[in-house]
Amino acid sequence: MMDDLQLAVERMRAEGADFCDARYQTITTNGIAVVDASVRRISEDRIRGVCLRARKKGSWGYATTVDASKDVILEAAVKAARNALAGNAMGRPIPDTGEAKVELKAKVKLHPSQVPMEEKVQAVLDMDRAQKVDARIVNTNSVLREEVRQNSLVNSHGRQLSWEEVRTTIMVQAVASEAGRTEFFYDIKGGGLGYEVVRETDLEAFGREVGKESLKMLAAEKAPSGLLTCITDPAISGLLAHEVMGHASEADEIVKRRSFLTDMVGKQVGSPLITMVDDGTVPEARGSVPFDDEGTPSSRTVIIKDGVYQGYMQSLETAAEMGVKPTGNGRAQSYDRRVWVRMTNTFFEKGDQNLEEMIADVKFGVLTDRMISGMEDPVGGGFEAKALRGYLIENGKVTKLLRSFTLTGNALEILRTGDAVGDKVELDGGSCGKGIEDWVPVSSGGPHCRFKIVLGGD
């Protein structure tokens, strides 16, 4: 296949491309879903194909094919080059990331392909049944999801790369109901891991704990509202990092001047305690990749350092437009989707306080615990998140369990109020969307952070 991709690159160059690449990809996903101790879905999906990209004077041409035979790939290469209509665009040259010949396998302990389906189904059933700890548990859901990506890429700068990505996730959710009130709780484990994440988890304890926590939610009280001292847990910290600051730091938004962070490099955007990065090299994190979908090595990009805004995540195209180095953030959902600037693992860096110290300083406030949802606002910088639950803090002590509530405010105003940052970073894996249904695997997170945020109780 690498030889055919090389021939395709040579063909696009012969057709006048200033820069071009050819990428072959296979994505295999397996899923098992169990609801109320009954297997509802066992699925295996596989997509494969070739993407050809050619650039002429700043204009891109794309062509894709599911037929990976040499003749069809070469035909698609010609089509891609001719689709790159060189009009009046005066694009700057694509940065040269250097020649390289690399072949990498995913560093996992147990590849999902080595485990029989029967074992996987039984594991999900065990997790699900364990959640039923009480008659008030009225619904249980459990999921195992595996994804294996095989990538091969050749470009006109002499890069010949082959790499594998493996991700495994388990999730359990229990719904409890009593006296007309219904609450739920969930937990997720996984990342850039193989099936070892399942084998190394006490599945019954994993499910049982979620069942117990959903029951506790039945007694949770309404959260206070107004501008309060709020200690965000790693999930909510990550939501702030990802949804607002992260999306607004994607350079394709900057070159179009659609981000509230345009022209903010070098300016104070947060407390001196705040440092935020996007790092695609974190071991075992869901968003980590050895290379992005343009063949650029993954990197650690500092977005905020000591409260000062540093810069943006870049693809090859945006790096060319801005005259900077690419950061390894050119990513695509699959071979047949366009490459955009996308995050990998986006999080706030750790500080020097433990959680107990952070709580002890709070006279009246809230500690969040897990997220339900969040909204991005890269244009205006608004922040809105929904926490699954939280805890009331009174006179330096946690006193009450709180049910779901919202957090809102302006991201920069929130960051500037940061007066304590925890000493332990945790990442949550998920999928990030951009545009219309275009998803890539990511992680977000950080330590516990203490801010002033407007809360609204549900």
Kindly tell me if the per-residue pLDDT of 175 is higher than 60.
yes
Q: Could you identify the residue written with the tokens 């694009």?
A: 91
Confidence band (pLDDT; 50, 70, 90) for 375?
Answer: confident
CA dist 293 and 276 (Å) reads 23
The answer on pLDDT for 438 being more than 90 is no
Residue 452 CB neighbours (<10 A) = 16
Overall average pLDDT of the 167-171 stretch: 99
- Residue 166's nearest CA partner among 190, 143, 193 is 193
Residue 222, pLDDT score? 97
Q: Is the pLDDT of residue 362 over 60?
A: yes
Q: What are the C-alpha distances in Å from 333 to residues 166, 244, 427?
A: 15, 21, 21
Confidence (pLDDT) at 57 = 87
- What 8-state DSSP symbol labels residue 315? -
CA dist 211 and 206 (Å) reads: 9
Do 326 and 313 contact (CB within 8 A), yes or no?
Answer: no
Percent of the chain with pLDDT over 90: 95
Mean pLDDT computed over 38-49: 98
Q: Examine the pLDDT at 90 and tell me if it is beyond 60.
A: no
Partnered with residue 228 across adjacent β-strands are: 453
203 phi/psi in degrees, rounded to 5: -65, -40
- CATH 3.30.2290.10 domain position(s) in the chain: 2-219
Q: Which residues pair with 21 in a beta bridge?
A: 53, 155
Residue 137 has which token pair? 């548990």
pLDDT number for residue 457: 67
Q: Are strands 397-402 and 300-305 parallel, antiparallel or unpaired?
A: unpaired
Res. 86: pLDDT tops 70 = no
Q: For 265, list phi and psi in degrees, rounded to 5.
A: -60, 130
* Confidence category of residue 249, pLDDT binned at 50, 70, 90: very high
Candidate from 28-42, 210-224, 363-377 with smallest mean pLDDT:
363-377
CB 19 within 8 A of CB 155: yes
Residue 377 — pLDDT band, cuts 50, 70, 90?
confident
In this prediction, residue 95 has a pLDDT band, given cuts at 50, 70 and 90, of very high
The CATH code of the domain at 2-219 is: 3.30.2290.10
> Residue 85's pLDDT band (boundaries 50, 70, 90)?
confident
Q: What H or E segment, with its residue span, contains residue 228?
A: strand 226-232
Compute CA distances 427 → 143, 286, 348, whole Å: 20, 9, 10
- Listed residue (78, 58, 62) closest to 8, CA to CA: 78
Torsion sign across C-alpha atoms 105, 106, 110, 114: negative
Averaged pLDDT score across all residues of the chain: 96
Q: What proportion of the chain, given as a percentage, has pLDDT over 70?
A: 98
Length of the chain as a residue count = 458
Run of H or E residues at 78: helix 70-83
pLDDT in tens, 183-204: 999 999 999 999 999 999 999 9
Q: What is the residue whose two structure tokens read 């997720």? A: 188
Separation of alpha carbons 6 and 3, rounded Å: 5
> CA-CA distance, 348 to 361, in Å (whole number)?
21
pLDDT of the residue at 2: 97
Q: Where are the alpha helices (DSSP H) in 166-315?
A: 196-199, 203-216, 234-239, 251-255
Q: What is the pLDDT of residue 298?
A: 98
Torsion over CA: 213, 218, 220, 226 (sign): positive
Q: What is the pLDDT of residue 87?
A: 53
**Is the pTM above the cut of 0.85?**
yes
